[in-house]
């Protein structure tokens, strides 16, 4: 080595222990490099085993790699990282730091107004459907009566979320069901059905005209004929509106379809007696479901199950069924109760008897009083 102060070379002689340290350091470096090469090769083999796809890691594995990667830095990671990129490892580290200072799980309550329970939501929807004229404030007051205190704004938000319009628009959307219930006690329905009867002249079509009291489901046979012409229909109108015995004497509205047999003269007589005729749209049997269901019942349980010979057999079969229908048959439309129950209904004592009509086609079970 050259010494500038003296102008001549200076020779350093390594001590034996210094030479030993250099040899040992070189050996250790080669050993570490061999370990690194082996680990890198092992990682490459692992990636090849997964077909070059990203290796799924657990949260704990990501945490351990993030901690080690932070110590090494980006430059060193670029040289050795093969499973994931250096940016990914550093991103994991940032997420660990952010999670350390995240105290959201310690909050006692969420910010803002508390959520409305499903019970209150269903109650709001029920009140809006059942009361078309009630606005947000009215519903809020009704809820307060039941112990639920929420704002009218919350009521409005819930109704809007369920696409229910405000009261000024909702009250003009009266459904047919609501209309019928509002006039339940003064409402009746009328309809025809036909029956094929064998006579000396061959098979003849008879027309049966029934009138139903919608509230109670009581049914009245208004008439039976082979030719329901206008004079016959006018006499039926007089019979139905008789002040003493008429079936419609206490009714205000009569639902009917657009059958031409309900002539203008027939409707005029009913109007004169104070019964307003409500003509339904064409092909709308769903607007008079009680009487439509009765027509199906009398056909399925009685008239379609027998062969009728002459008008007298038709009249008798109809009377027998109406007696069974009113006093012996349970009705789902009336909470599965009998329209005109007798005294024995509901008794727990007495022998069980069976009353048969139409040769056993119609049966009624009851307890015989001791």
Number of domains in the chain: 4
For residues 200 and 240, membership in a common domain is answered with yes
Looking at the predicted structure, is the pLDDT value of residue 6 above 50? no
Question: What are the tens digits of pLDDT across the range 172-190?
Answer: 555 656 666 666 678 999 9
For residues 23 and 139, membership in a common domain is answered with no
Looking at the predicted structure, is the pLDDT value of residue 196 above 90? yes
Nearest alpha carbon to residue 88 among 77, 75, 100: 77
Looking at the predicted structure, is the pLDDT value of residue 194 above 90? yes
The range of the structural domain enclosing residue 148 comes to 118-173
For the ranges 12-16, 44-48, 57-61, 266-270, the lowest mean pLDDT is seen at 12-16
For residues 150 and 239, membership in a common domain is answered with no
Mean of all residue pLDDT scores within the chain:
81
Whether pTM exceeds 0.75: no
Distance in angstroms (rounded) separating the CA atoms of residues 256 and 236: 14
Q: Compute how many other C-beta atoms are within 10 angstroms of the C-beta atom of residue 279.
A: 13
pLDDT band at 104 (very low <50, low <70, confident <90, very high): low
Task: State which H helix or E strand residue 106 sits in.
Answer: none
DSSP strand pairing (253-256 vs 276-279): parallel
For residues 354 and 311, membership in a common domain is answered with yes
Question: What are the tens digits of pLDDT across the range 204-248?
Answer: 999 999 999 988 999 999 999 999 999 999 999 999 999 999 999
Looking at the predicted structure, is the pLDDT value of residue 151 above 90? no
For residues 227 and 283, membership in a common domain is answered with yes
For residues 12 and 82, membership in a common domain is answered with no
Strand order in the sheet with 276-279: 218-225, 202-213, 187-199, 253-256, 276-279
Residue 309 lies in a domain: yes
């Amino acid at each position: 080595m050259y010494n500038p102060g003296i102008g001549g070379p200076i020779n350093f002689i390594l001590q034996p222990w210094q030479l030993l340290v250099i040899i040992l350091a070189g050996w250790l470096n080669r050993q570490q490099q061999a370990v690194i090469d082996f680990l890198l090769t092992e990682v490459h083999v692992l990636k090849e085993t997964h077909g070059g796809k990203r290796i799924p890691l657990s949260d704990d594995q990501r945490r351990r790699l993030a901690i080690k990667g932070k110590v090494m830095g980006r430059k060193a990671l670029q040289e050795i990282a093969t499973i994931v990129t250096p940016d990914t490892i550093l991103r994991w580290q940032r997420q660990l730091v952010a999670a350390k200072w995240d105290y959201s799980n310690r909050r006692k309550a969420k910010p803002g107004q508390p959520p409305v329970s499903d019970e209150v939501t269903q109650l709001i929807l029920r009140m809006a459907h059942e009361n078309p004229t009630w606005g947000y404030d009215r519903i809020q007051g009704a809820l307060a009566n039941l112990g639920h205190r929420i704002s009218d704004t919350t009521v409005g938000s819930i109704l809007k979320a369920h696409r229910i319009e405000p009261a000024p628009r909702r009250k003009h959307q009266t459904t047919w069901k609501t209309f019928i219930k509002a006039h339940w006690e003064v409402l009746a329905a009328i309809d025809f059905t036909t029956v094929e009867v064998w006579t000396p002249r061959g098979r003849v079509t008879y027309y049966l005209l029934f009138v139903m009291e919608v509230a109670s489901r009581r049914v009245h046979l208004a008439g039976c004929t082979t030719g329901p012409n206008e004079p016959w229909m006018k006499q039926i109108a007089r019979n139905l509106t008789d002040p003493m015995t008429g079936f419609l004497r206490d009714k205000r509205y009569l639902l009917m379809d657009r059958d031409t047999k309900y002539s203008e003269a027939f409707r005029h007589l009913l109007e004169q007696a104070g019964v307003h005729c409500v003509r339904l749209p064409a092909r709308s049997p769903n607007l008079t479901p009680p009487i439509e269901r009765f027509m199906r019942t009398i056909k399925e349980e009685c008239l379609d199950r027998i062969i009728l010979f002459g008008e007298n057999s038709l009249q008798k079969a109809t009377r027998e069924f109406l007696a069974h229908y009113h006093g012996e048959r349970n009705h789902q439309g009336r909470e599965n109760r009998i329209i005109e129950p007798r005294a024995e209904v509901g008794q727990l004592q007495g022998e069980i008897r069976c009353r048969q009509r139409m040769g056993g086609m119609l049966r009624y079970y009851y307890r015989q009083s001791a």
